[in-house]
Amino acid sequence: MDFATDAALALMPAVREAAREAGRIACRYFERGAKTTARIWSKHGGSPVTEADVAVDSFLKVELSAALPAAAWLSEETADDPARLDARRVWIVDPIDGTRAFLSGHPDWCVAIALLIDGEPVLGVIAAPAHDTLYEGCRGGGAYRDSAPITASVRERLAGASAAGPKPLIERLERAAGRVEAVPRIPSLALRLARVAEGAVDLGLVSGSSRDWDLAAADLILTEAGGRLTTFAGRRPRYNAAEPVHGELLAAPAGLHPYLIEAMTGQPRKAAASS
């Protein structure tokens, strides 16, 4: 194993426990099937944030910074520090991915934590406390759900595959590949990708404007489960850029991924590019 893998494995117990505790903090404000008890306000741009987001973010910054003091920090709920751009190690955190679901009492929200080393995710943890579920993975160490190994679907054809994502992208896929099974909306993007990683969903489609904190943990888990997350051109997401924003993305098992690119772009199948 290389240094990055060794570091990720050593950190995993602390990160796993931090994610679980963060989920417990968030659950103090969560009401299944009902509006949250947390105070709510709007960020710049109009997206909602709650006191639960802030509480979880503050807790994780303390815990993760203690676990790896040399790492920089990038979180949806923390003011960005440009120092991260020159850091070899960066924590990427979404305190509550799927805030609107959390607000309304829908269980599909999660806490997402990733560690980058030299720009690549090497550790990912996704805690979904309303489902009492935790996904995790380390580079080269496989992917797990509640300690059990997971793998992406072994399906070989797009037609009839289950797919999660925005309706316009699902319709675009069907025009090229035939009928697919559109699954009910999964509000949390990290959970959408985790379900591709565990084979519960065959294909994941992602509209533009996702952020590093939506993707990095799930990307690592999906990759370790035998899947791929790329742009429509087959390139892997690049993390820790000055603007951590991404365009449209595709998630699929490695065997289906080239066919998905072909269906969505009309371009001949080819292996995913590395950058």
pLDDT along the chain (275 residues), means of 10: 82 98 97 92 82 97 97 96 96 97 97 97 98 97 97 95 97 96 96 98 97 98 98 97 97 97 84 44
- Buried (b) or exposed (e) across 54-75, using 16+ Cβ within 10 A? bbbbebbbebbeebbeebbbbb
pLDDT of residue 234: 96
Domain segments of the chain: what residues?
A: 3-149, 162-265
pLDDT of residue 273: 45
Class of the domain covering 162-265: alpha beta
Half-sphere exposure of 117 (CA within 13 A, CB side): 15
pLDDT of residue 267: 76
Which residues, in sequence order, are CB contacts of 58 under 8 Å at separation 6+?
none
pLDDT of residue 5: 84
pTM of the model: 0.95
Give the CA-trace dihedral at 182, 190, 96, 170, to 10 degrees: -30
pLDDT of residue 224: 98
φ, ψ at 186 (rounded to 5°): -110, 105
pLDDT of residue 274: 42
State percent of the chain over pLDDT 70: 96
Question: Is 48 within 8 Å of 99 (Cβ atoms)?
Answer: yes
DSSP string, 187-202: S-HHHHHHHHHTTSSS
pLDDT of residue 79: 93
The owner of tokens 């935790």 is 134
CATH architecture assigned to 3-149: 2-Layer Sandwich (3.30)
Cα 45 from chain centroid (whole Å)? 22
Question: Is 121 within 8 Å of 217 (Cβ atoms)?
Answer: yes
What does the pLDDT look like over 141-164, one tens digit per residue? Answer: 999 999 999 999 999 899 999 999
Q: How far apart are CA 48 and CA 150, in angstroms?
A: 33
